[in-house]
Structure formats: C-alpha cells, structure tokens
Amino acid sequence: MTTSTASPGRLFFDKHIETISAGKIDEMVDRDYAEDAVLITFFNGFADTPPPITIEGRENIKKFFHDYLRTIDFIDIKSLDFTEAENAIFFQAKFNCKLGQVSVGDAWTMRDGQIAYHFGFWN
C-alpha cells in the first residue's frame, strides 16, 4: 500500500483539476466553492464585458466554467508551480488547450475547506 505525501491543498487542487478536466463542472463547483464564492478573473475569451470579470455565487460560477471549458476544450498541464498557506492556495501553470499553450495563475482563499475567493490570471 502506497501512502500519499501530498498536502491537503495539493490533494484539493488535484481533485479540482481532475473533475473540471472530466467535464464535471457542476460537481466541481458544488464540492469546491462556497455557496457565496466570488471569482474574479482576467480571462476574456467569451465575456461581454472587458476584464476583470467578477462572478458571484455557485450558479454563476457554474455558467462561467461551462463556457470556459467549451472555449478551451481540454487541459493538459505542462508545468505547475504550487504553494499553499493555512487558508490559501496559489499556483501558476502552463497548459495546452484548444487555444494553444496558455499561462495561468490562480489564488484561492479558502473557508471551511472550500474556495471563498478565486482570483484568476490568464496570459
């Protein structure tokens, strides 16, 4: 039997990416985001307003991620820098998707094991 040495934050991240990559957006948002979560992002692939875009609440975050996944189609992580603190997770990644290779950075503040504030950066 192999024992995982991954931190709780890294396990949370891995499950988050696994679920979104599988297209299970509603499951991911319901599990990972607080009911009153706020997502602020500079991703401008489909929004009607210029970034930054502020999305509030699970239902709106679900809509955002459904549109996001339709836009990028898939996530194939090529590099990842990851760190965490008691109530925060921060990462930078490069991944391939339908749009080519992109660079992202996200900061999540956590409350009761869920994302309360999600700041997303896109390049």
Q: Which residues contact 116 (CB under 8 A, 6 or more apart)?
A: 34, 36, 37, 38, 109, 110
Per-residue pLDDT of the chain (123 residues; tens, 9 = 90+): 455 578 999 999 999 999 999 999 999 999 999 999 999 998 876 667 778 899 999 999 999 999 999 989 999 999 999 999 999 999 999 999 999 999 999 999 999 999 999 999 988
Give the Cα separation of 122 and 5 in Å (integer): 30
pLDDT at 51: 82
| Separation between Cα atoms, residue 116 and residue 123, nearest integer Å | 23
In a domain, 3, yes or no: no
Please give the pLDDT value at position 43.
Answer: 82
Does residue 93 lie within any of the structural domains? yes
| Residue 2 in domain | no
* Total number of domains constituting the chain: 1
CATH of the domain at 84: 3.10.450.50
